[in-house]
Amino acid sequence: MDALFDLAEFEREAVAATAWDGAPLTYTTSYYSPAELDAAFERYRAEFGHFGCVPRSHMWNRNEWNAGARVVTEDGHELHTFHADTSCRQTDHDHSAAPLPKGGGYLVICPGCAWHVITDTENAGIEAWHDHAMPGWRSLPVMPQLVSDRTDEKKARAAAAKWCAKNYPAEWQRPGSPVRTVRGPYGGRHVEARSPFGGYDLAADH
């Protein structure tokens, strides 16, 4: 065993010796704020290490590029997304005491309202949040495909802004508003920060 490994082990043992009374260090369906979930995941990694922390802990976590709110509205709603690995492939522990759900791997939180939803798909969670924060979005007009070359992002954004200014009700032309768009057969994911208002680009069903 080399000295560096010893030191890491020593640090983990020191963490393990201190009491933890935050969010549980495992999968949970109870409400916790984004900050509480971040702190719990940090604690887990400080105690057990980073290796395999997502599949081993089954805890709610988010990537570093997704550390903050994905949408913030004028009236204080925020959208935070988390993911958990709920399918256990470990042999050194089991879940007979508290079985993991089938699915249930996506979590969306609105901390200002202490609101959260757990879903099987990311899209379902994003839609539930819009029902919570912006009821009525399902009646918004669906934006047709406006430019043939979608790789020209600047052009596509300008065309979308123009279309929304003309076709959206005035009360929907505000920060965080989504845009509903027609997609191809493989483009069904809701995309953050791609509406002209900084909100989601929501794939329409038809």
**C-alpha distance from residue 57 to each of 31, 53, 61, 203 (Å):** 18, 6, 10, 32
DSSP-based three-state secondary structure for 89? coil
By CB under 5 A, is residue 8 in contact with Zn ion? no
- Using the Cα atoms of residue 124, residue 130, residue 133 and residue 139 in order, give the sign of their dihedral: negative
Cβ distance to Zn ion smaller for residue 14 or 113:
113
C-beta of 32: minimal distance to Zn ion in Å?
15
* Of positions 113, 114, 165, 193, contacts Zn ion by CB under 5 A: 113
Cβ distance to Zn ion smaller for residue 95 or 150:
95
- B/e letters for 2-23, b = 16+ CB within 10 Å, e = fewer, are eeeeeeeeeeeeeeeeeeeeeb
Q: Choose the stretch contacting Zn ion; rule: CB under 5 A; options: 26-34, 83-91, 174-182, 197-205.
A: 83-91
By CB under 5 A, is residue 77 in contact with Zn ion? yes
C-beta of 42: minimal distance to Zn ion in Å?
20
By CB under 5 A, is residue 116 in contact with Zn ion? no
* Of positions 87, 90, 145, 173, contacts Zn ion by CB under 5 A: 90
Token pair belonging to 131? 């029902």
By CB under 5 A, is residue 114 in contact with Zn ion? no
Q: What are phi and psi of 50, to 5 degrees?
A: -80, -25
C-beta of 85: minimal distance to Zn ion in Å?
8
Neighbouring CB atoms inside 10 A of 118's CB total 21
C-beta of 20: minimal distance to Zn ion in Å?
19
Cβ distance to Zn ion smaller for residue 73 or 181:
73
Neighbouring CB atoms inside 10 A of 103's CB total 13
Residue of 163, 200, 203 whose CA lies nearest to 69: 200
* Of positions 59, 71, 107, 110, contacts Zn ion by CB under 5 A: 110
By CB under 5 A, is residue 88 in contact with Zn ion? yes
- For the chain, the residue count is 206
C-beta of 110: minimal distance to Zn ion in Å?
3
Q: Tell me which residues touch Zn ion (CB under 5 A).
A: 77, 88, 90, 110, 113
